């Protein structure tokens, strides 16, 4: 079994890709809260992160370039999604279509 260790820079690049995916999807579905999966967590950014932090009372993080980020473990969607829908929000869960492993082309 091979274990790939990801540096903080690589992780930051991957989160940047998640942010770009969020921006792209948010442009199409501006009335929904967009949750983008990255590893074992769902991330959201910007205005969606602010909505979730106010609704749940959990402070968002300030990422690169003062970007507001909010994340939750994937299993927490079991309680999070019903709460958001009951509050009247539309929610889109975005999953990656493939995983690119380091060293594999």
41 against 4, higher pLDDT: 41
Euclidean distance between CA atoms 54 and 89, whole angstroms: 14
Q: Do the beta carbons of residue 48 and residue 54 sit within 8 Å? A: no
Residue 24 lies in a domain: no
What is the residue range of 47's domain? 31-94
pTM summary value: 0.76
- Total number of domains constituting the chain: 1
Give percent of the chain above pLDDT 90.
Answer: 44
Per-residue pLDDT tens digits for 43-75 = 999 999 999 989 888 887 876 656 788 888 999
Residue 100 lies in a domain: no
Residue 22 lies in a domain: no
Residue 104 lies in a domain: no
Euclidean distance between CA atoms 49 and 60, whole angstroms: 6
Give the pLDDT confidence score for residue 4 in this predicted structure: 37
């Amino acid at each position: 079994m091979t274990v790939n260790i990801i540096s903080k820079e690589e992780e930051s690049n991957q989160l940047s890709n998640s942010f770009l995916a969020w921006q792209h999807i948010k442009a199409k579905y501006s009335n929904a809260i967009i949750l983008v999966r990255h590893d074992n967590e769902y991330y959201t950014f910007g205005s969606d992160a602010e909505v979730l932090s106010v609704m749940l009372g959990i402070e968002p993080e300030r990422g690169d370039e003062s970007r507001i980020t909010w994340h939750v473990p994937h299993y927490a969607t079991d309680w999070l999604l019903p709460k958001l829908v009951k509050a009247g929000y539309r929610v889109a869960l975005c999953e990656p279509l493939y995983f690119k492993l380091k060293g594999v082309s």
